[in-house]
Amino acid sequence: MRVSAIILVAVAALTVGCGGAGDDRLAKDDLPGAPTRLHVSSPAFTDGSRLAQRYTCDGRGDEPPVRAGTVPPSASVLVVFVAAPPAPGGSYVHDTRYGLTPRGDGAVDHGGREGRNSGGRAGWTPPCPPRGDDPHRYVWSVYALRDPTGLKAGAAPSEVAAAVGDAPLASGTITARYGR
């Protein structure tokens, strides 16, 4: 997957920011939990830390790499959501990816399809909170599934959440913060 694929161009982020009328947002309870926890990590940031500018609209807007740790052997695919909760009207989804092949190194950036974000575009939208706001929280959620989702590229965040269903094998999150 292209590094920039998990977040869109900075100009698009400036246009949509972290919200807008008519976008596809997720309510707090739209994403399920799982019985087994994945240890989600990133070489770009530690859980709860500030996201480096290069991964935001103030930098290059690169997508930070994320790893899922040890995935259950019965998992055939991974699904990734990147969202900024809470935003007015629900969580603003910065990226969805699904059909990712679990790998021994835990990388979640190989294969798969990209869905739409809350701005209505496929791929990653870099964080771009309004200037002067307190830092926003960005959560990468990774789900291990037994069966493929069956979704085509470009699915809406709500469709991806529905495809994850009520019974992922494992899930985990990592969070970063960014303010301008």
Residue by residue, pLDDT tens for the chain (180 residues) are 332 222 222 222 222 344 443 445 544 444 556 668 899 999 999 999 999 999 999 999 999 999 998 899 999 999 999 999 876 667 899 999 999 988 777 778 767 899 999 999 999 999 999 999 999 999 999 999 999 999 999 999 999 999 998 779 999 999 999 999
| Among candidate residues 62, 75, 47, 19, the one with its CA nearest the CA of residue 141 | 47
CA 138 – CA 92 distance, rounded (Å) = 9
Sheet holding 111-114, edge to edge: 36-37, 170-178, 136-145, 77-87, 90-100, 111-114
Report helix, strand or coil for 157.
helix
CA 128 – CA 13 distance, rounded (Å) = 6
Query: What pLDDT shows up at residue 172?
Result: 94
CA 80 – CA 71 distance, rounded (Å) = 13
Query: What pLDDT shows up at residue 39?
Result: 93
Residue 172 CB burial class (10 angstroms; 0-12, 13-18, ≥19): buried
Q: What does pTM read for this prediction?
A: 0.80
Q: Per-domain residue ranges for the chain?
A: 3-178
Q: Regarding the domain delimited by 3-178, which CATH topology (the fold level of the hierarchy) does it fall under?
A: Phosphatidylethanolamine-binding Protein (3.90.280)
Query: What pLDDT shows up at residue 90?
Result: 79
Query: What pLDDT shows up at residue 86?
Result: 74
Query: What pLDDT shows up at residue 107?
Result: 78
- Bridge partner list, 18: none
Query: What pLDDT shows up at residue 139?
Result: 96
Range list of H helices, the chain: 10-16, 157-164
